[in-house]
Amino acid sequence: MAVVDDRDREQAQPRDGSPARRVEDPQPRSPVLRMMGVMDVELLVVPGCRNEGPAAILLRSALIQAALPAGFRVTVIADEQQAAQRGFTGSPTFLINGSDPFGTPRQPVGLGCRIYRQPDGHARGFPDLLELRDALAAAARDMQQPSQQPSAPPSGQSH
């Protein structure tokens, strides 16, 4: 299983020396990548987000702990139009194959900081490492399972 792109922060550089880059394109890539069997891991941030660096380190650690390639891309959400287009609910937002594993109904869309409730009840600017790792591992398992299509009953039998 492959993962796309990488990031540009010094503290989160990939250990394998591969190039890292920040993505300014707000278009999601998940449908195409899923068809190719590639997990799309994306970190959405606003310019100057103070939690971007810690969130990138956390994401890399979660990918490694889930035994997945540690690559991902960072997308900057620069204005309200992009926020609305992407359903962006605050910085940082973690997307796995285009889905926000921490999203909740009625979360407001827009630029701003995002708060994540921790298992101990405290709030932080990024999710719990184990919860992020488990979300990544679940997405990887889901991608490996064949699509569930109803099978026809064997000939001569009816359901």
pLDDT tens per residue, the chain (159 residues)?
Answer: 333 333 333 333 433 333 334 444 444 554 544 554 678 999 999 999 999 999 999 999 999 999 999 899 999 999 999 999 999 999 999 999 999 999 998 899 999 999 999 999 999 999 999 999 999 999 999 988 765 544 445 554 444
Structural domain includes residue 159: no
Count of domains forming the chain: 1
Q: Identify whether 150 is part of a domain.
A: no
* 60: in domain: yes
- Is there a domain that residue 137 lies in? yes
Judge whether 72 lies within some domain.
Answer: yes
The domain containing residue 102 runs over which residues?
A: 10-144
Q: Report the C-alpha gap between 99 and 103 in whole angstroms.
A: 8
Assign residue 16 the CATH number of its domain: 3.40.30
